[in-house]
Chains A and B, each alone.
Chain A
Amino acid sequence: MQIKSRIVNKTLYILLSGELDEYTVPKVREDLDRLMETERGFMQIVLDFSELTFMDSLGVGVLIGRYKKMRQMNKPIFITNPSRVAEKIFKMSGLYDIMPKIV
């Protein structure tokens, strides 16, 4: 599981690559929190799922946890390029109500 990031026009783009499951989730949480807490000069976050090859409902828990942290800083999170499975899980959970999907 790899995480890459860049800031463009005050947006923190985070690209998730690999498989997100119970095995990889501790590092994903740690990496996302470090990025969100140490990066400066961004007003919103876009999480790009285009290279995520596996995810289950654990992903929803991870995202809601990050949402709660960023909400305190008034920084919205958006989701882009979810896989078919991720899209189905996000819709089932209502996640898009708090983290809208953008194209």
Chain B
Amino acid sequence: MKNTVELKFKAIAANIPFARNALASFILPLNPSVDELQDMKTAVNEAITNVIVHAYPETTGHVTMKITTKENVVSISVIDNGVGIQDIERALTPFYTSKPDEERSGMGFTVMEGFMDKIEVKNNKDGLIVNMIKEIASTGC
């Protein structure tokens, strides 16, 4: 059965724990393992942190997290209406950060790629959209 939830919230750091815990609650019926759950929470945390840090340099905007589950596949989209990324290929390069003086590791997209099966980053008509997919392989533990 296909199921979907869409959450829109203010792009501030205080909402990050809510977002990753909401993700965990929604996908729990798929019976993921603890490791799979942690992987997805980490990836979505990276995507939302990126929005908070980069998308709205002059103001505070919103972030939308859309989660779809179908059979054992989890699809997550993190969408903002911010400034987007001029050079996506460069942003995806490990260790690249546009804010080196802020102790940023430049590992955000690398972690998303490492913890999910597939990620896609593209500029939206206004803002950025990050799509991530992970197949639940286990039957829980």
Contacts and interface: CB of A to CB of B under 8 A. Distances in A.
Interface string A54-95: 111110111011000000000000000001110011001100
Contact of B105 (A23, A61, A84, A85): A61
B17 to A, nearest CB: 7
Contacts of B108: 56-57
B105 A19 contact: no
Contacts of A22: 13, 16, 49, 52-53
Interface residues of A, number: 22
B105 A60 contact: yes
Contacts of B110: 57, 92
Contact of A65 (B20, B39, B46, B103): B103
A26 B75 CA distance: 31
Interface in A18-70: 19, 21-23, 29, 54-58, 60-62, 64-65
A21 B103 contact: no
A22 B39 CA distance: 17
A56 B45 contact: yes
B38 A89 contact: no
Contacts of A56: 42, 45-46, 49, 108, 111
B70 interface: no
A21 B14 CA distance: 10
Interface string B53-94: 100000000000000000000000000000000000000001
Contacts of A65: 103
Contacts of A93: 95, 105, 107
B49 A92 contact: no
13 contacts: A22-B52, A56-B49, A56-B111, A57-B108, A58-B105, A60-B105, A61-B102, A61-B104, A65-B103, A85-B38, A85-B39, A89-B111, A93-B105
Interface of B: 13-14, 16-17, 20, 35, 38-39, 41-42, 45-46, 49, 52-53, 94-95, 102-105, 107-108, 110-111, 114-115
Interface of A: 19, 21-23, 29, 54-58, 60-62, 64-65, 83-85, 88-89, 92-93
